[in-house]
Structure 1
Amino acid sequence: MNLDINVSDKDSTAVVTLAGEIDAYTAPQLKEQLLPLTKESGKVVEVNLENVNYMDSTGLGVFVSALKSTKENNSELKLVQLQSRVMRLFEITGLTDIINIDSTVRGGS
């Protein structure tokens, strides 16, 4: 499965809209596009996961790396519009306590 990545800038926010699956095959592509955005001081990186219906541990690893980068570069990572099965992955791993995740959860199986 593929992952579509669309990045747009809105003031001091980079909006990253994802669609597809985040797995061992697509995670490197996501990391390559996401990490440079987190290196700009004062930047908010908002990742919209509304159209991501599957993510595995490699996807979680990308977001943990992005979070670490934001802490080092004085930027911010925010995840929004997660489908329930993707949100569950963040809850099980305890990442909801350390990553800013919008509590609005989309349906989906």
Structure 2
Amino acid sequence: MVQENKFRMEKQITDDDNIISLIGELDLSKASEFNTNVDPFVQDVGRKLILNLKELTYIDSTGIGVILTIIKTRHALKASFAVENIPPKVQKLFDLTGLTPFLSAVANTVN
């Protein structure tokens, strides 16, 4: 029996922020769905976009690619963006793939 990939995103909208919590495993099978669902929040330049990864248990290169696209888009829109609560295993992968400096640069340079 094949186990279904368990991934979901939860949205919390405040006056200032769109907080998107990623839960479960973000991989090739869910990356397109995530990209489609997160895009309206990426385009919302009136609020800071925050990705909360506290409950993200796994991410593959496709998921990392989606996050990189979000970073590039938010930067081009001159819109603020942050990633918070990165689990150690995911942080290690971000470090290995060279994504970490981009996370810090966006968080520190865009208000």
TM-score range normalised by the length of the shorter chain? 0.7 to 0.9
The corresponding residue for 2:97 is 93
The AA in structure 2 aligned to 1:14 is: N
Per-residue deviation, 1:24: 0.2
Per-residue deviation, 1:78: 0.9
The corresponding residue for 1:74 is 78
TM-score (norm 2): 0.84
TM-score (norm 1): 0.85
Give unpaired runs (5+ residues) of structure 1: 103-109
Large movers: runs of 4+ above 6 Å: none
Per-residue deviation, 1:35: 2.3
The corresponding residue for 1:19 is 23
The percent of aligned pairs where both chains have the same amino acid is 25
Larger Rg: 2
RMSD after superposition = 1.7
Which has the larger strand fraction?
Answer: 1
In structure 1, how many angstroms separate the alpha carbons of the residues matched to 2:41 and 2:64? 17
For residue 5 of structure 1, the aligned residue among 4, 9, 26 is 9
Give unpaired runs (5+ residues) of structure 2: none
